[in-house]
Amino acid sequence: MDLRARIFVAGHRGLVGSAIKRTLEAQGFEHVMVRTRDELDLLDQESVTRFFAQERPEYVFLAAAKVGGILANVQYPADFLYQNLTIQTNVIHAAHVFGVKKLLFLGSSCIYPKFAPQPIREEYLLCGELEPTNEPYALAKIAGIKMCEAYNRQYGSNFLAVMPTNLYGPYDNFDLESSHVLPALLRKIHEATVHKAPKVEVWGTGKPRREFLFVDDLADACLYLMKSFDRTDTAPFVNIGTGIDIEIGELATMIKRIVGYSGEIVFKPDMPDGTPRKWLDVSKMDRLGWRARTALEEGIQKTFDWFLKQQQLIVGP
């Protein structure tokens, strides 16, 4: 990738897109193109086509998506299915029509079966039933992978797909009704500390195990792949993670320590746990020469520091 290449980051205001944009700019890329939703509605095929025709991006990072935690997925299944299918269909097809050199599609580890063997290898895709609470989102992401594969096979496109594990970091969503588990815990425990609440309630048993990847590490991995590797028939998509998982109960204790909360963490076993375990096999990425660098506690501390700065900006001195 030439430093003067025209690069479009779709979803630059989100957790992943913002990290990719930061990484590209830090490495000296001069023409990183971004658009707000008001400037370019990715749900509108005509607008997407017009943008690609006018701007002619050479490389595309497709990080735009409707995302959320268990509660949001349960409440808005149609939105998760429709919006994600539409966004990725519009962007991937336009990338083909206007001759994009390479596109990288961001998927999710939720594509894998609920009871997939652990650690989860790429070939376990479509070998079992999905987790019901996020099935619409997972189906959309699976369709995105298959669309990249189909365009590669039929047209010789150079479309890559990556499946990151659970992500966290600056610009995450901390809304308690739509966020994922780590930012939700961070906010809940912080607010309990501020208000001196004696306890924090957490959905589920605390027993499910999850793997967490600092988003700046994901951005580094995406750029590493985009610069160094082309799609192949034997590796149509690749897992990206740390190879290390942790119980949600242990995660809550770690966040409690980082935030400095002295109260009690109380789990609610009558609420859904979601998938029992999601632990990715990252040996393929290992063989390609990339590994995550940020330890979980270090990453949570960086995320909490960023969160506090945002709170100060909102509240003021």
Residue 196 sits in a domain whose CATH number is 3.40.50.720
Q: pLDDT higher for 195 or 178?
A: 195
164 annotated to bind ligand: yes
306 annotated to bind ligand: no
Question: Of the residues 137, 168, 171, 261, which is catalytic?
Answer: 137
- Rounded to two decimals, the pTM is 0.92
Quote the longest CA-to-CA distance of the chain. Answer: 60
Question: Which pLDDT score is estimated for 314?
Answer: 56
Asked if the structure places residue 201 within a domain, the reply is yes
276 annotated to bind ligand: no
pLDDT band per the 50, 70, 90 thresholds, residue 232: low
270 annotated to bind ligand: no
165 annotated to bind ligand: yes
Asked if the structure places residue 264 within a domain, the reply is yes
Q: What is the pLDDT of residues 5-32, one digit of tens each?
A: 999 999 999 999 999 999 999 999 999 9
Mean pLDDT of 240-266: 97
pLDDT band per the 50, 70, 90 thresholds, residue 180: confident
The number of residues making up the chain comes to: 317
User: How far is residue 210 from each of residues 139, 206, 207, measured CA to CA in Å?
Assistant: 20, 11, 10
Asked if the structure places residue 186 within a domain, the reply is yes
List all residues 6 or more positions away from 172 whose beta carbon is below 8 Å from its beta carbon. Answer: 15, 179, 180, 182, 183, 215, 303
Asked if the structure places residue 268 within a domain, the reply is yes
Question: Which pLDDT score is estimated for 7?
Answer: 98
Question: Which pLDDT score is estimated for 135?
Answer: 94
User: Is residue 200 within 8 Å of residue 266, measured between CB atoms?
Assistant: yes
Asked if the structure places residue 167 within a domain, the reply is yes
Asked if the structure places residue 1 within a domain, the reply is no
Asked if the structure places residue 165 within a domain, the reply is yes
Whole-number average pLDDT of the chain: 93
Q: Residue 155: give the domain boundaries.
A: 6-315
CA distance linking residue 59 with residue 226, whole number of Å:
8
279 annotated to bind ligand: no
Q: Is 137 a catalytic residue?
A: yes
107 annotated to bind ligand: yes
pLDDT band per the 50, 70, 90 thresholds, residue 178: confident
Predicted confidence (pLDDT) at residue 94 exceeds the cutoff of 80: yes
Predicted confidence (pLDDT) at residue 74 exceeds the cutoff of 60: yes
Question: Which pLDDT score is estimated for 13?
Answer: 94
For residue 150, count CB atoms less than 10 angstroms from its CB and return exposed for 0-12, middle for 13-18, buried for 19 or more: middle
Structural domain count of the chain: 1
pLDDT band per the 50, 70, 90 thresholds, residue 128: very high
